[in-house]
Chain A
């Protein structure tokens, strides 16, 4: 397609964003290109079926089952697909394991790439200019804004999702959870801990 044409067609739509969406949806439906019921179905999928609860199950299982964890680190895409988590924006999964020595944190500076089948649709802050601009340059300051303070000897690795590899952080299991079941563990795994902007504190 040509770039930088000076008469961008999107200006022909109404200025109010909600009306703009409606106008385009109506036109595409008239033209037979869109089924509005399919749009409802996509929205419902990401509101109720695909979200961070999926990633939390993967993390809880990795904490509980050493054999699963070894497979997950060796063959991440196939292993999470085995739990039913595969698809759009999750075709090539990579797992980043946090430790006392390394803290991993994920960003997409160029757009908003995110592991949809495991975490759903990214939150507003992940897509914000502030996070995209700053996570690579001052990750520790950004982490502080999430209430996370790391010791200086813990090395920070920021992963900029520039290709189609999609990253899930495997957070450290908090102390005080010995003997917990997978479903109990899954409940304490936060979305931010799987992006690397949160850590899961000790359970007392």
Chain B
């Protein structure tokens, strides 16, 4: 049902290692290059945010576990470049460019446009004529985990909060729906809600049952209990 990235609530990971603000932004030079390469490639406009995330989530569990953070980014980027037909496996093996992609290269991010491009952002809020199905304060129940249309597909409903009861604390405008947008089904924007879950409703052994976990969830993830 699940993939390794969906790790909220998992046991066995050991203590967190705080840096108290002392660590450099990029611990290794290649970390910065891997991030910049991923960000710059995104501006080629050949895939959206949700497809990019899903490419990282599709790493084999063995790779996802073995790879450091930026290795995951790099592997996800490599795989999506091939999946989108921008790079061939032969080019990766030989290191020699062969396939002509000059039509895509016209979107290349230039040094001069970096500041403006980063500052522009990419809002995911959309205007639709949809009326929110749920109201502030209403009790809701989440659906079972997993993308409803695509087996093993992208979803932003974490497994730990699937099939759980919560309460609507904010009704937001519609946002692009990742479960559709990651798979070529369009943006399919729907109302987004912030839903509060009591720790006692999420966990068998809550640390403090009245503490809460808040999640931002799309309408399709929610049902009337």
- A interface residue numbers (CB < 8 A to B): 1-4, 6, 8-10, 12-13, 17-18, 20-28, 30-35, 37-43, 45-47, 50-52, 86-92, 107, 109-112, 120-121, 123-125, 127-134, 136-142, 145-147, 152, 155-165, 190-192, 197-198
A158 in contact with B6 given A8-B75, A41-B114, A87-B120 (CB within 8 Å): no
Q: Which residue of B lies closest to A164 (CB)?
A: B124
Q: Are B115 and A41 in contact (CB under 8 A)?
A: yes
Neighbouring A residues of B18 by C-beta, 8 Å:
125, 145-147, 192, 197
Q: Are A34 and B15 in contact (CB under 8 A)?
A: no
For the complex of A and B, list the 6 residue pairs with the smallest distance between their C-beta atoms, beginning with the closest.
Answer: A109-B8, A163-B216, A32-B105, A10-B75, A39-B36, A1-B83
Neighbouring A residues of B75 by C-beta, 8 Å:
8, 10
Neighbouring A residues of B175 by C-beta, 8 Å:
92, 163-164
Q: A120 → chain B, closest Cβ, in Å? A: 6
Instruction: Please pick, from B59, B161, B208, the residue contacting A8 in the complex, using a CB distance under 8 A.
Output: B59
Instruction: Please pick, from B59, B76, B86, B158, the residue contacting A109 in the complex, using a CB distance under 8 A.
Output: B158
Q: A13 → chain B, closest Cβ, in Å? A: 6
B147-202 interface with A by 8 A CB criterion: 152-153, 156-158, 160-161, 172, 175-176, 192, 194, 196, 202
Q: Are A43 and B32 in contact (CB under 8 A)?
A: yes
Best-surrounded residue of A22, A33, A124, A198 (most CB of chain B within 10 A): A33
Number of interface residues of B (CB under 8 A): 113
Q: Which residue of A lies closest to B150 (CB)?
A: A3
- B interface residue numbers (CB < 8 A to A): 5-11, 13-21, 23-30, 32-37, 39-41, 44, 51, 53-56, 58-60, 63, 68-71, 74-84, 86-87, 89, 91-93, 95-97, 99, 101-102, 104-105, 108-111, 113-115, 118-125, 152-153, 156-158, 160-161, 172, 175-176, 192, 194, 196, 202-203, 207-208, 210-218
A20 in contact with B89 given A25-B33, A33-B44, A140-B207 (CB within 8 Å): no
Instruction: Please pick, from B27, B84, B110, B208, the residue contacting A152 in the complex, using a CB distance under 8 A.
Output: B208
Q: What is the bound-complex CA distance between A30 and B34, given in angstroms?
A: 17
Q: Are B8 and A160 in contact (CB under 8 A)?
A: yes
A158 in contact with B214 given A32-B102, A38-B109, A109-B7 (CB within 8 Å): yes
Neighbouring B residues of A30 by C-beta, 8 Å:
96-97
